[in-house]
Structure 1
Amino acid sequence: MRQEDDDVMRNTTRITNRPRRRAARAVAVGLTATLATALLGACSSDDDGGGGDDENITLRVGVFGQFGYQEAGLYDEYMEANPNITIEQDSTTENADYIAQLRTRLGQNSGLADIQAIEVGNIAEMTSELSPRWVDFNEYDVDTSHFVPWKVDQATDADGRVIGLGTDIGPTGICYRTDYFEQAGLPTESEAVSELFAGGWEDYIAVGEDFAANAPDDVAYLDSAGGMFNAVVSAFEERYTNEAGEVIYQESEGVQTAWDLSLQVADAGLTDQQQQFSPEWERALANGAFATLPACPAWMLTTIQSHAGDAGAGLWSMARSPEPSNWGGSFIGVTDASEHKEEAVALAEWLTAPEQQAKIFANAGNFPSSATAQETEDVQNATNEYFPGVQIGQILSTAAAEIPSTPIGPNDQIIQESITNGLVTVEQQGNDPDSAWEDVVSALDNALAE
């Protein structure tokens, strides 16, 4: 943040800064996108429901990790246009800690901020039993037409109430090391590598077999079977839960396809046998132990840069995924307990408007959930200095247009974690795949019965 911005924040807001999450919401250093001034024009008090001139209002915003509002100067901008509004933000490091506290406070309907963030993995429970604790944005005539439709669907409950506005999404590409590809005799330019993968995940695996035959002996093609599973399954319309809310992972074509392909890369010795986001995985990334990440959304670029550091600068690139999917994303909602619902809704709508989403992408790397923002030249033409010569914005915007609308259930995270843990036992412990699957089913039977 610029010094003058910091001074303004110190005088007008209370920002509680805690350590940031390692992955999904760290600031994306080096993202360049020159945003048009017209997109970022200040709003008026009348337009934004800032309250009457004689009424001073404090709005509290609760988030986890890094949402980019403070870093992009959006709170300052909003308060300058609405002098009677003071914004206070509290950010918790990990979503696991944040959501546990949020569940408790929603259950008690007390201790809540006016605006609270919701991770996509938790949106199903918020639109079901906890839905009454949230304001329905439909009642305030909030414009949701600029969001990608499936993002609005995810935040809509069974009665048609929209309880969350999309902040970002996670369209995926494939990240790869150009130096390792060159050593293996493979193309290194983004477009050429994209063509290698264009036929589907089978092509990606075939490239891996060529890579393994010619690459340095101590470099694996990809990080993990679990990473492969996530990349493949996330492109299917049905994964773990169907439209009726039923758990269907055992019959899911997406799960079966992803499981089989993950076993294939593991059996072929193409993986580094890691568990994603473990300390060992982070060290492997830092040490250049693998050449590709098969699911690489915008926020993963920050993870790569954070762990690979200066030694990895200019060595990583991004190609199009053969079957793009979504990994990550969040919402913000207004709590029913808020004493300033109208003003909180106005702020939430403004923070998630296309203009602000474009600015956050430029400053923090969170890819817009607004289709209108995605279409701007500033987003489409965005690049990243750490990944030289790669049209990051174009790759991710193209991927975003192909993401399927997928039902999300409250148990999806538990199911995926159990499956990827099963793959870890195959890779690291030599467990028989059939036995590993039986263990997954048994563990989930117990977990989902609780």
Structure 2
Amino acid sequence: MKLSRRTTVAAAVAATASFALLATGCSASGSDAGSSSNPITLTVTTFGTMGFDKLYSQYEKEHPGITIKATNIDTGDNALTDWQTKEAAGSGLPDVQAVEEGWLSKVMQVSDQFNDLKDYGANDIKSRWVDWKLKQATDKNGRIIGYGTDIGPEGLCYNGKLFAAAGLPSDRDSVAKLFGGANATWDDYFKVGEQYKAATGKAFYDQSGFIWNAMVNQQPEGYYTKDGKLNIQNNSTLKSLWSKLAAGAAAGLSSNQTQWDWGKGKAFTDGSFATFVCPGWMLGVVQGQVKAGGGDASTGWDFANVFPGGAANWGGSFLTVPKQSKHPKEAAALAAWLTTAKSQVATFQAAGTFPSVTAAQSDPGVTGASDLTKFFNNAPVGQILAERAKGVVAQYKGPDDSVIQSQVFGPSVQQLDSGKANGDQAWANAMKLLDQLVVNK
């Protein structure tokens, strides 16, 4: 995309000056709000591992008079519940609200409750992002309500030590070839899993939910069609993938872990499983879990440039400014600053969140060495994620996408992993929940 054009030099200079003032955090509701003589507090709500903590301190240092009060919620699902509760109440939302891709469509249904960031300079910086990221945050009336943080191209995390002990190749290039390289399929993945299970007697992946999520995200249309209709009950592609998932669980390839709870990290260090699906932001989660479980880089986790079924995007977030904000100009300036190329390089280094800003994707801070690369056996994680991002197309996410993933298919995934239901039974149970929980449009 191109920057918005101006008809005169004077207009361009005026616009630039206006945005420069905004970027300092001194363009405000009052004449000097956010200055040292008129301090304000900006509230921010995020979730998961977004890597902003050090940036908050830096912003406060560079913007005297602004204090950031940050709240981080453990998961995206819980953050959705928090947002919905406060949105319905008409109060309590922060100045800057992080929104997850999976519930962005729900947010778009009430997009008028968010500030149009074009009022605060968005047109002047909209060329930062990959085009599909910006389009996701633009409502039907052309209002930009969110600045993109990360995107979630997926690669495969694996434990090289466990692979070697099972007699499988353990270096990254050989592991990629083992799964089929550029032509890797889910059949290849489950076949290797069966080999691993036969050699070790242990599970191959932590649980089936994340595998299912990846499978769905790879499709041109997932739980919804591009025009917003439910796309599940008679979807032969999804049912075929579900059968593969069920067969894997029946073969003992799932460790039947609880999603987002791996025994305080012990499952990542005790050999409970050997592979893990990893969008960029999940790399920081893996690192944190391994450390929580008493492990470190020597535990053996690595990152390969391969993913069964091809390119997939899981997650990615946006920073929005709710209409409830008392300081929308300052909040928009903070959101813009947190999504500069420099800031996205910093969040990548802190949490593995792969940038949606194009300039950051090729920055040495992303493509070069970092604490994260050292942890993953010196894997060039930034370069791998850049490769995995090729071919990713943003999938339309309907208003109940996250509900379907966690509350419709979540229980059935657990039934597969625990052996309480076979594939057909678990699918039927999911369809019952779909009818109960989601309005069929």
TM-score by length of 2: 0.83
- The one of 140, 162, 169 equivalent to 1:158 is 140
The residue number in structure 1 matching 2:205 is 222
> Are the counterparts in 2 of residues 137 and 163 from structure 1 also a CA contact under 8 Å?
yes
Aligned: 1:367 with 2:350: no
Partner Cα separation in structure 2 for residue 44 and residue 139 of structure 1: 14
Quick one: distance in 2 between partners of 1:97 and 1:231? 21
Partner-residue secondary structure (3-state), 1:269: coil
CA contact (8 A) 1:50 1:84 kept: no
Partner of 1:87: 68
**Structure 1 residues without counterparts, runs of 5 or longer:** 1-42
311, 317, 321: which one aligns with 2:302: 317
Which amino acid is 1:416 matched to? Q
Give distance in 1, aligned partners of 2:64 and 2:209: 49
Number of corresponding residues: 402
In structure 2, distance between residues paired with 1:280 and 1:89: 27
> In structure 1, what is the Cα distance between the partners aligned to 2:402 and 2:387?
26
Q: Distance in 2 between matches of 1:435 and 1:262?
A: 13
Offset from partner CA, 1:212-249 (integer Å, 9 cap, x none)? 33x323x2222233332222222122110112211112
Aligned to 1:395: 384
- For 1:3-402, list aligned pairs within 5 A: 45=21, 47-48=23-24, 50-51=26-27, 54-55=32-33, 56-65=38-47, 66-71=49-54, 74-128=55-109, 130-142=110-122, 143-197=125-179, 198=181, 199-201=183-185, 202-213=187-198, 215-217=199-201, 219-252=202-235, 254-279=237-262, 283-293=266-276, 295-309=277-291, 310-311=294-295, 313-314=297-298, 315-320=300-305, 321-322=307-308, 323-383=310-370, 384-402=373-391
Shift of 1:385: 2.1
Aligned-partner SS, 2:200: coil
Task: Deviation per CA, 1:60-97: give whole Å up to 9, x if none.
Answer: 132134433232xx334334443344433333445444
1:280 deviation in Å?
A: 5.7
Shift of 1:423: 3.0
Residue 34 (structure 1) aligns with: none
For each residue in 1:372-406, what CA deviation from the matched residue of structure 2 results, as whole angstroms up to 9, or x when unmatched? Answer: 21122221224422211211111112112332210
Cα drift, residue 312 of structure 1: 5.4
Shift of 1:98: 3.9
Q: How much is the aligned-residue C-alpha RMSD, in angstroms?
A: 2.6
- In structure 2, relative to structure 1, the CA distance for the partners of 1:248 and 1:313 (3 Å cut) is same
Confirm or deny: 8 A CA contact 1:59 1:114 kept in the other structure: no
| SS in structure 1 at match of 2:204 | strand
- Percent sequence identity is 34
Q: Would the aligned equivalents of 1:316 and 1:387 in 2 still touch at CA under 8 Å?
A: yes
Q: Is the 8 A contact 1:240 1:252 kept in 2?
A: no
Distance 1:257 1:105, change over 3 A: same
Structure 1 range deviating more: 402-411 or 299-308: 299-308
Is the alpha carbon distance of 1:183 and 1:112 closer, same or farther for their aligned partners in structure 2, counting shifts above 3 Å? closer
- Mapped to 2, the partners of 1:257 and 1:165 lie a distance apart of 36
- Which of 417, 433, 436 lines up with 1:427 in the alignment? 417
Q: Which amino acid aligns with 1:406?
A: Q
Could you list the runs of 5+ residues in structure 2 that have no partner in the other structure? Answer: 1-18
